[in-house]
Amino acid sequence: MAYAVVVLVALSIGMTVYHKFLERVIAEYEVLNYLKKKDFNTNF
């Protein structure tokens, strides 16, 4: 029984870390896209 609890805790922590990582990647991607669009607009 204790083993199952440990697995559940590890999974929940892993998912939290994974979501934080995904949010950071998506945020960086959006910033890069925004900068590219801005450069594109100023070039023309």
**Residue-level pLDDT at 30:** 95
Q: What is the pTM of this model?
A: 0.58
Quick: pLDDT tens for 10-35: 999 999 999 999 999 999 999 999 99
CA distances from 27 to 18, 19, 21, 32 (A): 14, 12, 10, 9
Determine the distance from the C-alpha atom of residue 20 to the mean position of all C-alpha atoms in its chain, rounded to a whole number.
Answer: 5
